[in-house]
A and B are shown apart, each in its own frame.
Chain A
Amino acid sequence: RKEVEQDPGPFNVPEGATVAFNCTYSNSASQSFFWYRQDCRKEPKLLMSVYSSGNEDGRFTAQLNRASQYISLLIRDSKLSDSATYLCVVNPFSGGYNKLIFGAGTRLAVHP
């Protein structure tokens, strides 16, 4: 079983749509959680951290359920510029050091 599993995608949605991505992780001792965005042939960039209380950044809302080991990302009012691959990332912080564990990513294509 992969340490971090994501919806395979791709998601093809029209502008203005709401889209949700899901992710599960296997290491219950994981300490921190993130969503990264990766554009084609570019490096991953931090989109947002994810907290148990849920957090929102504009059109983006992330949620963490530690009991279910489940992470979600909701994008409202999709824009063409949201087209990218979204990577679910877990940091077990084992030994007190950062070590990011990435899912395979979910591709989003927003069309006019």
Chain B
Amino acid sequence: DAGVTQSPTHLIKTRGQQVTLRCSPKSGHDTVSWYQQALGQGPQFIFQYYEEEERQRGNFPDRFSGHQFPNYSSELNVNALLLGDSALYLCASEQGGSDQYFGPGTRLLVL
């Protein structure tokens, strides 16, 4: 049973660029949440997708957007990258309010 997978594992971008991160949920899960974890901090909730729509959102600017596909996989897009966007981006999946399972994350460095 495959767990949550994310790609790429690492990414380097420069300020002003755009980035797309991808997540495939655990088999049987239909809800995907995205978190940002800056160095030395706990993960911060970005947003959650269910039935291909954003269901709830944390305190992140509109530069952060997402998408969920019919197969429940999801993308996180960040536009106009800032140095402060450097972080570990975590995807978590769940089914019907169950415990969330995290993927290994994508480590983004913005130069």
Task: Tell me the A residues contacting B by CB distance below 8 Å.
Answer: 4, 41-46, 49, 87, 89, 93-105
Contact = CB atoms under 8 A, between A and B. Distances in A.
Interface stretch (B14-22, B63-71, B78-86, B92-100): B92-100
The majority secondary structure among interface residues of chain B is strand
Contacts of B56: 94-95, 97, 99
Among A49, A94, A99, chain B packs the most CB atoms within 10 A around the CB of: A99
B42 A87 contact: yes
B90 interface: yes
Contacts of A49: 99
B102 A45 contact: yes
A43 B45 contact: no
Nearest to B4: A43
Contacts of A43: 90, 102-105
Given A43-B90, A100-B33, 5 more contacts: A43-B102, A96-B97, A99-B33, A101-B45, A103-B42
